[in-house]
A and B are shown apart, each in its own frame.
Chain A
Amino acid sequence: MAPTTPPVETRRFARLGNRRAVPLVDVPVLPISVLRDAIAAAITDGWRIVSLFGAPENASSLRIMAVVADDERGHLGAASAVVGTSYPAISALCPQAAVFEREVAEQCGVLPEGHPRLTALRRHAPDHRPPAWGTAVNHLAGDTNVFTHFEGDEVHEVAVGPVHAGIIEPGHFRFQAHGENVLALDIILGYQHRGVETLLERHGAPRAVLVAESIAGDSVIAHASAYCGAIEALSRSHKTARAQSIRGIALELERVANHVGDLGAMAGDVAYQPAAAFFGRLRGECLNMLMTISGNRYGRGLIRPGGVGFDIPPDMARELGARVSGLARDLRPVADLFFGVASVQSRLDGVGVVTREACLTLGFVGPTARASQVHRDVRHDHPYGVYRYVQIPVATAWAGDVYARALLRWVEIQRSLEFIGEQLDALPAGDVRVPCPPAPARAEFVVAMEEGWRGEVVHAVLTDEGGRVRRHKVTDPSFRNWTALSLSMPGNQISDFPLCNKSFNLSYAGHDL
């Protein structure tokens, strides 16, 4: 039985909700050692880190904000600590904090002492440090010794990128290999860095939502919804049921489009061209439905603070409903073809395994976690909008390999299509957009989570006494899951890398911001 009262350590966190703004004074400020122990204890107790970031507090100090979640009970908590130019690393106790602390070090110029592997994350100048810190030396700069090193006969290194052999975003991969077998994979990112967070902090509506839509061009709906979720929570703007339903339809269309595209890309990578071609076309069908609704194939222009920018009138709902059934009908034989061919199965089976333990320890999210039997889905665990009324069952697979990630996508495609069909049949009446007034003039904190097709998208916003955005922290699922790709490669062949990479299909832009 679960304990009825939370253990002492988790009581140190202020109780939050997905998209519920709380006064900043309610978020406790703990000594850093207490915060560190509280996070460690919470993780032992089944919680995980949702976000961990730095916000300049005053001229000489930085506030570390930590957001943790207990998915099973649907709890979300926050606590903070104020630090100077260095502090004892939380990741020394909790491995899942490692990537967040690399980010804090780089953005804010503070040193997490005892960090297991402190290397540059995106290679940019600190843009979120307290003003008086001036030109504090960034110890991350110029650190080129970032690759795992092996010695021995026939051990060699393979460098790939940042410019890749296809139409792919830039990133650098460094394999340590023995013959064809990969011993380690190091991933260097940051080539897509555009300063998204700074733009979101500097500009309000209507420009900021255009920036949010461009965080990751294949997750327009997910990021715009999370952005709007945070802004709406701050302004106490309540969307209508119709707007929530249309947002749900758009998010699931985005999920189907990308999952179908990924299945096609995986088919292409195992040289099974028929499925690659068919899935490729059917992905376009989903994008065209988004274009019918919003005028853009990726849904740009649809998600706006206070609701949605475009209604789905009855005629369009009927037409889209027919197209969704047609899509479901066309997809099934292609999926049967793809999953039924022995030569495809043998290429996907057992390749690129990520264990359930790794997912839990390192905090992976989305299909990556669900393919390794981790029940983790924001729509189910921290429901919001239309998902409070309509539950989409959480799909999981157990093997954690490429096959599991492919199969999971197919299951999710079917469930999302069912959801879209049901919603189009019974759209609630009402307006699609309500006013979204400015945030109240007091310091507040809000966390908005959204289950994008890659996993949990988090937008955490801190406002100042005037209600202006002081810090806007974006966490794309790729930010956490790139480590999963690194972990999945050792023991596999270099030639399996493209397939393995596609099975995760992580965002470079979403990571690099």
Chain B
Amino acid sequence: MLEFARARLAQGTATIDFPPSDRGFPERFRGRPILECAGCTGGSCPDDLGTIPSRLLRTGQAPDAGTVLDMGACLFAPEEAVGSAGCGVSFTRDHRIASRTRGGLLTPTGLIEPLAALDERMRKLLGRSLRLRSVSAGSCNGCEAELTAASNVVFDMARFGIQFVASPRHADGIVVTGTVNANMRDALERTYAAVPDPRIVIAVGACAASGGPFYGSEQAGDGVPSSIPVDLWIAGCPPHPLTILDGLLRLLGRLDRGDRAPTAPPGP
């Protein structure tokens, strides 16, 4: 017991503030990507934009639609940062990369619309206590590792009333990771069906949004199928635990659009 007390004192308190007061991301951290294109008109951008080994850049359907960044397909790999200052893709150290819609992850510059919270009724139901069921469906286990880390003593998701539970019957929603391949599709749909209404769905990681690094594989999926309506898309490969926390808290309306402390939970 004495040893325990000594260890407890030595370890101190590891839980970090959220939103983080000093973000503390190292210089090389690759957060939200941005696309700068100064003065190039359709098609005259540097050639190496075409060498990106992911589907990060998408060319619009219309001839003048230009190029957009798809953060749902971003693998946050150094190879995706191409071009030069003023014209190209680079990574910022901003960890906040989430959207309520899949289309919201597509932007011409890399700026994402501020994430709108759930409606008032859902916030009242879930704002102070959100129970989630994790469904891993054709992933590499990277996103799952970060979901686990989000619950550890450092990020301590439970302090905001968010917890992972053991059964869909106990859950308010599911968190889907992975490409949703053929072998997992049925299990995912059945798990979703087992969650009582009202329920939410959160898609975490590049695989769940776009197939991630496995795009084009016949054996992998393209992400969460349209049969499952997604309420929140969190980008990353895998997303940092703070990215996950940020997305969830904004969804619950517990963060303002800026980076101030969490607002008081709604209702009594």
Contacts and interface: CB of A to CB of B under 8 A. Distances in A.
A220 B136 CA distance: 18
Interface in B80-112: 91
A281 interface: yes
B167 interface: yes
Interface stretch (B23-31, B58-66, B119-127): B23-31
B138 A333 contact: no
B11 A281 contact: yes
Contacts of A217: 139-145, 238
Contacts of A127: 218-219
A408 B242 CA distance: 32
A194 interface: yes
B152 A280 contact: yes
B30 A301 contact: yes
B90 to A, nearest CB: 12
B129 interface: no
A192 interface: yes
Contacts of A122: 183
Given A194-B220, A295-B78, A169 B26 contact: no
A504 interface: no
Contacts of B134: 166-168
Contacts of A123: 183
B140 A199 contact: no
Interface stretch (B1-9, B36-44, B224-232, B249-257): B1-9
B5 to A, nearest CB: 10
Given A194-B214, A278-B11, A169 B184 contact: no
Contact of A281 (B14, B140, B141, B187): B14
Contacts, number: 189
A188 to B, nearest CB: 10
B152 A284 contact: yes
Interface string A296-338: 1110110000000110000000000000000000100110110
B68 interface: no
A6 B139 CA distance: 44
- Name the residue among A166, A296, A509 with the largest chain B CB count within 10 angstroms: A296
Contact of A508 (B141, B187, B219): B141
Interface residues of B, number: 66
Nearest to B166: A165
A166 B139 contact: no
Interface in B48-84: 51, 53-54, 75-79
A275 to B, nearest CB: 9
Interface residues of A, number: 63
Nearest to B205: A217
A351 interface: no
B147 interface: yes
A211 B213 contact: yes
B238 A195 contact: no
A508 B138 CA distance: 10
Given A214-B214, A274-B4, A192 B11 contact: no
Nearest to B143: A217
B246 interface: no
Interface in B147-203: 147-149, 151-154, 164, 166-168, 178-179, 181-184, 187, 191
A336 B164 CA distance: 30
Given A207-B53, A218-B142, A274-B7, A192 B178 contact: yes
Given A210-B213, A298-B142, A284 B76 contact: no
Given A295-B29, A330-B11, A340 B219 contact: no
Contacts of A170: 135-137, 184, 187
A259 to B, nearest CB: 14
B141 A169 contact: yes
A301 B77 contact: yes
A235 B115 CA distance: 48
A295 B184 contact: no
A199 B28 CA distance: 28
A194 B138 contact: yes
Interface string A191-223: 111111011000100110011011111101000
B263 interface: no
Contacts of B145: 217-218, 298
B21 interface: no
B34 interface: no
Given A167-B134, A214-B214, 12 more contacts: A162-B187, A163-B168, A192-B136, A194-B140, A211-B214, A217-B141, A217-B145, A280-B149, A291-B26, A292-B26, A301-B30, A309-B78
26 contacts: A167-B136, A169-B136, A170-B137, A193-B220, A194-B138, A194-B181, A195-B220, A199-B216, A199-B217, A206-B79, A211-B214, A214-B214, A216-B141, A217-B139, A217-B142, A220-B142, A277-B153, A281-B153, A291-B29, A293-B28, A301-B77, A301-B78, A333-B3, A333-B7, A340-B3, A509-B140
**The 7 residue pairs across chains A and B that have the minimum distance between CB atoms:** A217-B142, A195-B219, A165-B166, A295-B28, A207-B53, A217-B140, A195-B217
Interface of A: 122-124, 127, 162-163, 165-170, 190-196, 198-199, 203, 206-207, 210-211, 213-218, 220, 274, 277-278, 280-281, 283-284, 287-288, 291-298, 300-301, 309-310, 330, 333-334, 336-337, 340, 507-509
